[in-house]
Amino acid sequence: MPDLMVNLDGRTVPLADCHWVLFDADGCAEGSLFGRCAVDEEQAHQELRPLKRDRDREARRGYQVRLLTREQWRRDAKPCLLGRCEHRKGGAA
**Residue ranges that bind Zn ion, judged by CB under 5 A:** 28, 80, 85, 87
Which is closer to Zn ion, CB of 15 or CB of 80?
80
Phi, psi of 26 (to 5 degrees): -85, 0
Distance CA 36, CA 31 (A): 15
CB of 32 to Zn ion, least distance (A): 12
Which is closer to Zn ion, CB of 13 or CB of 48?
48
Task: List all residues 6 or more positions away from 58 whose beta carbon is below 8 Å from its beta carbon.
Answer: 22, 24, 45, 49
Which is closer to Zn ion, CB of 28 or CB of 48?
28
